Structure 1
Amino acid sequence: MKFFNKTGKLAIGSRLRMLTEKITEDAANIYKLYDIELQPKWFPVFYVLSQGEAKIVTDIAKEIGHSHPSVSKIVSEMAKQGLITEKKDKADGRRNMVTLSPKGKMIAEKIKDQYADVNAAIEQLTAQTENDLWKAIEEWEFLLEQKSLLTRVGEQRKNREGSYVQIIDYIPTHREAFKNLNEQWISQWFKMEEADYKALDNPQGYILDKGGYILVALYNNQPVGVCALIKMNDPVYDYELAKMAVSPTAQGKSIGWLLGNAIIEKARSLGAGKIYLESNTILKPAVNLYHKLGFQKVGGRPSPYERSNIQMELIIKSSPFQKTAE
């Protein structure tokens, strides 16, 4: 097992497959030892039918957790060996009811001694181990049902790539990136409007000189995301979260989430009470992101953008540190 010592848990699939193949090989030989005419892969279907009740393939598949085509194939193989009989359902002629044949029932009676010996052998094996494999399998099955290994690996990838992202303050050399990233996403879904040009052509005068801020996300030292905090002259809102854009080449790295949290922290540090934003409901990932950041939908307000059809607000809560300081 030197290979697995080198790879560690990376080769879990290969190691489980080898263990499964070893147990399956032993199972086939155990059937021969007891002169039982079964194949290991037939056992789940055989066991369900040995309980005495006729069933349709769909119900068998659901009970044993196999696919319908897989069970259909097994039923067909067992029928060829004379272990199963199929009859039309009296209540619904379109369905076939599956039961054990007389030969299958005879095997079901004969196999009881094998069941007892196999169970005793496994109990003995379990007693010799420090870890209960059966309970571990149950735990893994439960956890993977809640969240698949694929999903978990994807989350780890996002976390790793997210750790390569730097969120920094805007400097004049980022002006072109700020404009290009925003023009790219706006043009993909809508059209550039007058309010866009005001902000993108002159971020210094339109945003920064009026008390606003711009943050830039760097990935491998390249600007791939931007977000602005625009000071509002409004009795309700202190700032508007605006001009958030992420390069398509950098999506899936949690850059929007990192930018959003960073800009909210910036607003909190400035003593803001409420942040406002505008978006469009066709941008589902963006709207979902705003919800995750804590924004809630509010009633419509006059907007300088034709594309805006949803307005949202975030009530800023003071951090525990700020409260202690006060």
Structure 2
Amino acid sequence: MEFFKEAGKMALGSRLRLLTEKITEDAAQVYHLYGIDMQPKWFPVFYVLSKGEGKTITAIAKEIGHSHPSVSKITTEMAKAGYLLEKKDKADGRRNVVQLSKKGKETALLIEDQYKDVEQAVNEISAQTRNDLWKAIEEWEYLLEEKSLLRRVLETKKQREGNTIRIVEYTPAYQQAFRELNEEWITTYFKMEAADYKALDHPNEYILDKGGYILVALDGDTPVGVCALIKMEDPVYEYELAKMAVSPKAQGKSVGYKLGTAIVEKARSLGAKNVYLESNTILKPAIGLYQKLGFKKVAGRATPYERCNIQMELIL
């Protein structure tokens, strides 16, 4: 069809539905051909019950991969058509089990020839194709179970949107953004402290002039994230990753990871052997980001911030 050629793989679901509808329409006529009064959608339940004793709806749903409500509806329809019986579970009287009725068992015998003929017809189709549809479906089911299509699309979206982010070095033009982005996240969870005002109001004096650096993440020309690398006067640690802040409007674009990676690379280019940081454990996404960058928790040290309850280091 021209539509599928034009839409391509975006129309995967629609094309699969169309194929399913074609097969289901033929299946209904196949049942009629063999004189069996059944609906194609009943087949999974019928097949499972034809192989053994009665089962609970929950057990059937688990075995065929359908939802409980779906199986419940199908068993109700099959019972009305005379194919199923419902009775109490011998092992647990609180549960009901369904099993094939006399009509259902007779149908299970009659349908054997249909099974053989349908399987041969499907094999003939497979022999005329270059790709084995059955194996392809198994592969797709495995891969989608491992990672859903939704998750894959979300990751692709995140990667595409993240490509618009670029990291630049701080200039005085970004001082207001540096302060506002930090104040926004700090006041969301905590309160501004004296050490915050010093660094944010006077970044040259307290960060840059002391051998530190500030990086800015831009989305287009708009600052959406900032992060500082502060030179420390400490016998153990040389630099501190600090004042990282990302605008809520830029969430999902990996801004924090890009900033963190750039700051770590800056420290490495300066010959630093380690990087230190302070945070708070209620900031779970931030802690997760630091761990992703390679930071590990260290023993507590003296800190000018009341909100700090975790300290981490990265060995370069």
Structure 1 runs not aligned, ≥5 long: 317-326
Q: Could you tell me which residue of structure 1 aligns to residue 284 of structure 2?
A: 284
1:131 aligns with 2:131: yes
Summarize the alignment of residues 111-260 of structure 1 with structure 2, pairs less than 5 Å apart.
Answer: 111-260=111-260
Q: Distance in 1 between matches of 2:61 and 2:248?
A: 42
Q: Which moved more, 1:85-94 or 1:257-266?
A: 85-94
Taking structure 2 as the reference length, what is the TM-score of the superposition?
A: 0.99
RMSD of the alignment, in Å? 0.6
Q: CA deviation at 1:220?
A: 1.8
Paired residue type of 2:311:
Q
Q: Distance in 2 between matches of 1:214 and 1:100?
A: 73
Paired residue type of 1:39:
Q
Structure 2 runs not aligned, ≥5 long: none
Q: Distance in 1 between matches of 2:107 and 2:257?
A: 61
Q: Is the partner of 2:125 in helix, strand or coil?
A: helix
Q: Is the partner of 1:242 in helix, strand or coil?
A: strand
Summarize the alignment of residues 73-84 of structure 1 with structure 2, pairs less than 5 Å apart.
Answer: 73-84=73-84
Q: Distance in 2 between matches of 1:268 and 1:52?
A: 67
Q: Is the partner of 2:210 in helix, strand or coil?
A: coil
Q: Distance in 2 between matches of 1:64 and 1:22?
A: 22
Q: Could you tell me which residue of structure 1 aligns to residue 305 of structure 2?
A: 305
Q: Distance in 1 between matches of 2:220 and 2:104?
A: 65
Q: Distance in 1 between matches of 2:153 and 2:304?
A: 42
Please list every run of at least 4 consecutive aligned residues from structure 1 whose deviation after the TM superposition is greater than 2 angstroms: none
Summarize the alignment of residues 13-92 of structure 1 with structure 2, pairs less than 5 Å apart.
Answer: 13-92=13-92
The percent identity for this pair of structures is 71
How many residue pairs get matched?
Answer: 316
Q: Distance in 1 between matches of 2:167 and 2:208?
A: 17
Q: CA deviation at 1:90?
A: 2.1
1:132-172: CA deviation from partner (whole Å, max 9, x where unpaired):
11111000000000100000001111110111101000010
1:160-192: CA deviation from partner (whole Å, max 9, x where unpaired):
011110100001000000000000000000000
Q: Distance in 2 between matches of 1:296 and 1:202?
A: 30
1:194-252: CA deviation from partner (whole Å, max 9, x where unpaired):
11011100011110000000000000210000000000111111100000000001111
Paired residue type of 2:100:
L
